[in-house]
Amino acid sequence: MNGLNNKTVVLGVTGGIAAYKAVDIVSRLKKAGVDVYVIMTRHAAQFVTPLTFQSISEHPVAVDMFQPFMADEIEHIALAKRANLFLIAPATANIIGKIANGIADDMLSTTVMATQAKVVLAPAMNTNMYLNPIVQHNISILKDKGYEVIEPESGRLACGDYGTGRLSSPEIIVQAVMRMLNIKNDLDGKTIMVTAGPTREAIDPVRYISNHSSGKMGYAIARAALDRGAKVLLISGPVALTPPVGAEIIPVISTQDMYEAAVSRFEEVDAVIGAAAPADYKPAEVSPVKIKKTEDAMTITLIRTPDIIKTLGRTKTRQKVVGFAAETQDVEQYARQKLVDKSMDMIVANDVSANGVGFGSDYNAVKIIRHDGNLKEVPRMPKEQVAHIILDELASLFEDSVL
């Protein structure tokens, strides 16, 4: 696995409207295999109920300083010891001031004082509060003491003001946490190209041919590679996903676009992971105007599009080439044939007809087959975890090349 299944984050949630975003933070961390315990201030519980966090984290939520946590354990000490990382999101001016000045008068502030884990704060508050010299002074104190601060974003705030103070997005916060938690930095110095999402092949200015790929697997791989220290080049078809922070994004539409982008940048990368689902065929002719509907059937002649992974596999020098095989039957057989035909170093095969995995799902179940014939079966799990397992195998391929 990726080393995160034995990691624990204690999340402190304070009393601000951004508390609802902390639910998403817990969900993302859990999907990545991180164990999460939540401590809420009493004011935070006015915005989101403790039951919400308990349901997602699968652990009791601490609010009261004196409620029992586990038998024979003092609650705030038990949580302080459990944490591999302590995150406070949102962090109000109040909690920032308390920690900076050594005040421990509730469950959250007391636990922070007792932990030896790295403490990360994600401030969220009104612009004038955030820019107040006292708040800025307190933040400076914490930074000087080794606390990490994930700076807030600028934008329209809940109070109607516009300016700095909006909680950084849950995706950015979770990426920062993952980097701090991840004990692996095995892709440091490597440049990884990832293709993701579908492509679209135009029929006319209105219609196109595409597929059901959501891009979630490719984006999960890009995020995981960033977490492990790699430089990431993400060539993305049209998807409704937030680009991973830190990746170089090349947006494309057609398979030809993706092909040209991948080939032009191939020489500068150490590996390519072709998680995209580019269209295999395109119309032989594209109408410059909308084709009018008639009573007759429409006949479209289709021709092959360029095979991106096959081209890269057959022209590689030092690079590792990893492809995907989305199949509906005889999955392993077809995958092994593609592995050979396209000169890949590794292929990731999945049955896209199976329920609850594959296209559009947050989960996947795959078979990873290496060029030496070695097979690794990965049962159904969140795509974030599958991504790390794929990268474990890629890192092993790099190691084999050195030996």
Does the pLDDT of residue 32 top 90, yes or no?
A: no
Q: For 355-398, how does the pLDDT look when each residue is reduced to its tens digit (9 = 90+)? A: 888 788 888 999 999 999 899 999 888 888 899 999 999 999 99
pLDDT, tens only, 88-146: 999 999 999 999 999 999 999 999 999 999 999 999 998 889 999 999 999 999 988 88
- DSSP letter for 252, please: -
Q: How far apart are the C-alpha atoms of 46 and 123, rounded to whole Å?
A: 19
Q: In CATH, what number is assigned to the domain containing residue 133?
A: 3.40.50.1950
Same domain, 60 and 202: no
Q: Do the domain assignments include residue 285? A: yes
CA distance 238 to 343: 28
Tokens matching residue 176 = 């920062």
Residue 283 is part of a domain; what is its CATH number?
Answer: 3.40.50.10300
Task: Give dist(CA 276, CA 396) in Å, integer.
Answer: 23
Task: Choose one of 154, 181, 208: the last residue of a domain.
Answer: 181
Q: Binding site: residue ranges? A: 280, 290, 306-309, 324, 338, 342
159 assigned to active site: yes
Strand partners, 100: none
Q: Are residues 218 and 164 in the same domain?
A: no
What's the number of domains the chain is made of? 2
DSSP state letter for 360: T
For the residues of 21-86, what is the DSSP string, one character each?
HHHHHHHHHHHTT-EEEEEE-TTGGGTS-HHHHHHHHSSPPB-STTS--STT--HHHHHHHH-SEE
- The answer to whether residues 198 and 102 belong to one domain is no
Domain encompassing residue 208: 191-402
| Residue 249: pLDDT band with limits 50, 70, 90 | very high
Tokens describing residue 238? 């049209």
* Residue in 10, 1, 155, 184 with CA at minimum distance from that of residue 80: 10
Show binding-site residues for CTP: 280, 290, 306-309, 324, 338, 342
Catalytic site residue from 51, 70, 134, 159: 159
Query: Distance between CA 306 and CA 310 in Å, rounded?
Result: 9
